[in-house]
Amino acid sequence: MATFWNMPYFDKPTFSVGGGGGAGAIWVGGDSTEADGEKVQEAAQQLRQNSDYQTDYKGSWELATENSGISAMHAVLMPTNKVIMFDATNFGPSKIQLPPGDCRPIPSRPGEVDCWAHSVEFDIDSHLLRPLKVLTNTWCSSGSLDVDGTLVQTGGWRDGGRGVRYLDSCTTCNWEEHPVALSAQRWYASQHVLPDGRMFVVGGRRQFTYEFVPARGKTNARRQNFFLPLLKRTTDLVENNLYPFVNLNTDGNLFIFANNRSILLDYNTNSVVREYPILEGGSRNYPSSAASALLPLRLRGSVKRVVAEVIVCGGAPSMSSKDAEVGNFQPALSTCGRLDLNKPGAQWRVEYMPTPRVMGDMLLLPNADVLIINGAKRGSAGWNFAVEPNFEPLVYRPMNPRGSRFFPMSPSTIPRMYHSTSVVLPDGKILVAGSNPNDGYNFTVEFPTELRVEKFYPHYLDPVLVDHRPVLMNADKSKELKYGDKGQVTITLKDTDLTVANCKVTMYTPPYTTHGYSQNQRMLVLRLKEVELVGFNKYDIRFSTPPNSNIAPPGYYLLFVVNRGIPSNGMWVRIQ
């Protein structure tokens, strides 16, 4: 029997009449009349009808495969339902070979070839691998999907630093490379899709600039590289501003966060629209790597009323990386800062996680909760610069009252340290892979190169909730959407009380995840128009599509129907 949620971390309980209590419940007390009592009971009944199903289930783990072939430094879900994983070309032999006769020439050693794969396609259902041939070095690179579902991947180390690589969305495709397409070397840069479909790439080691990814096969000139003072101003002795956090605001400008400072950038005029307050307490970008995301955008009416909030969780003291070089592993940060991008006089509101975390991933779940996973409790990102793995995922519920938003989940047993990744899958599970704090593949150290791939089953996949889970019909067929239009999907569901009040439709763009940052991640909670019971266990769900490309940049999204916190299977949709 489904009940209300178990107690969250740091909850100050104010429980409802007739429920087991939990975040979001109401407290009723004081003097009341009989009429008041009836109103209270009606309110409590309405609350129970519209509240999320919750149980004491804290998730579970499945070992998907013992050998992913390569250690997943970078990962992205493709519209083919395959996950592309890759590391770097300079890490030596991997554990999967390229097809015979298809070896890679080694640029630094003319005449020599490398017959080991450094990129794979992972089938999320069968767990089978297909080796992919990447030519230039993708070490610490960036990427995102374009409007056609092609992975556009940029930068890396040395021969890969100016490269743009393309992997089309098909099950037989392989990498296409343009090694000098960018105007600058981009190592540890970030990438984001813009409202017009172009791609913005910013930063990288000693690169205080941004540029736009050129059209396929074209090359950027030097003059197409634009100075961004924020990056120079935020460079510490150990940098602390690599892989800057980038999010498209609802006004079409870009929010950029580096180290502990942030701005709103008009990239068309190369002008700073707004500077935000400093997020105090430590550094938040590589190597003091925090986790960050734009919280789900809830579309309820006018675009001007859409609240755009960024959250940044964890990180490390500014000199943590330097201290770790000599074996002094500083405690990671346990603070989270949350900022309303469009609020006049916006200030960071600080919350505390149950445990400190550096190098964690932050993912937006299909039901609009947030998952924080992977990382360590002490140290920083870098070669064996961290200890004390943080095995315990956290769910953060952004709509709960402050003090009742964090919920610890069941821990893994596999350390996921530097160079680990995670991916939201169409079935709502989380793929977890990678971890390699070593310069090469090393299996005999405290934190060895990790090739095991896990799947984490979040709280909403409790087996007792299976009858309350919607099933999207025709989910195997992708759907085309237009801006400012009407959309409809059909689900089957055993519950007979589904309404606009207890149902959600979410759209999620699969991010490119590396180094604790999921680039281009975005979730929309769409405006519902109607929920209609049209047959036995069958509902038509009608909704408004996103109003414009500032809200939803063009491209592929996973669409989910959520019944009182329980998401359906995902359906691929494309909007443009």
pLDDT in tens, 347-386: 999 999 999 999 999 999 999 999 999 999 999 999 999 9
CA-to-CA distance for 59 and 113, rounded, in angstroms? 45
Q: What is the pLDDT of residue 302?
A: 78
CA-to-CA distance for 472 and 492, rounded, in angstroms? 7
Residue 40 has pLDDT above 60, yes or no: no
pLDDT band for position 304 (cuts 50, 70, 90): confident
pLDDT band for position 14 (cuts 50, 70, 90): very low
Mean pLDDT of 14-31: 29
Amino acid at 288: S
CA-to-CA distance for 165 and 179, rounded, in angstroms? 8
pLDDT band for position 9 (cuts 50, 70, 90): low
Q: What is the pLDDT of residue 56?
A: 94
pLDDT band for position 107 (cuts 50, 70, 90): confident
DSSP bridge partners of 471: 492
Tokens of 489: 């999907």
Q: What is the pLDDT of residue 66?
A: 98
Which has the closest alpha carbon to 383: 159, 91, 120?
Answer: 91
CA-to-CA distance for 552 and 546, rounded, in angstroms? 6
Q: What is the pLDDT of residue 4?
A: 34
Burial of 272 per CB tally in 10 Å (0-12, 13-18, 19+): middle
Contact between 525 and 541 under an 8 Å Cβ cutoff? The reply is no
Contact between 472 and 530 under an 8 Å Cβ cutoff? The reply is no
Residue 48 has pLDDT above 70, yes or no: no
Instruction: Select the more confidently predicted residue: 107 or 461.
Output: 461
Tokens of 55: 């149980």
Q: Using only the alpha carbons of the chain, give its radius of gyration.
A: 23
Alpha-carbon distances, residue 408 vs 162, 192, 293, 390, 565 (angstroms): 41, 30, 19, 11, 17
Contact between 380 and 348 under an 8 Å Cβ cutoff? The reply is no
Alpha-carbon distances, residue 195 vs 146, 253, 483 (angstroms): 11, 10, 12
Residue 62 has pLDDT above 90, yes or no: yes
Residue whose structure tokens are 């069941």: 410
User: Torsion over CA of 371, 240, 157 and 69, rounded to 10 degrees?
Assistant: -30
Alpha-carbon distances, residue 139 vs 71, 98, 161, 213 (angstroms): 12, 19, 9, 18
Average pLDDT over the chain, rounded to an integer: 93
pLDDT band for position 303 (cuts 50, 70, 90): confident
pLDDT band for position 113 (cuts 50, 70, 90): very high
Residue 525 has pLDDT above 60, yes or no: yes
Instruction: Select the more confidently predicted residue: 477 or 302.
Output: 477
Which has the closest alpha carbon to 195: 531, 567, 393, 483?
Answer: 483
Mean pLDDT of 121-131: 98
Per-residue pLDDT tens digits for 143-187: 999 999 999 999 999 999 999 999 999 999 999 999 999 999 999
What length does the chain have? 576
Rounded to two decimals, the pTM is 0.93
Q: What is the pLDDT of residue 465?
A: 97
Q: What is the pLDDT of residue 342?
A: 97
pLDDT band for position 250 (cuts 50, 70, 90): very high
Residue 190 has pLDDT above 80, yes or no: yes
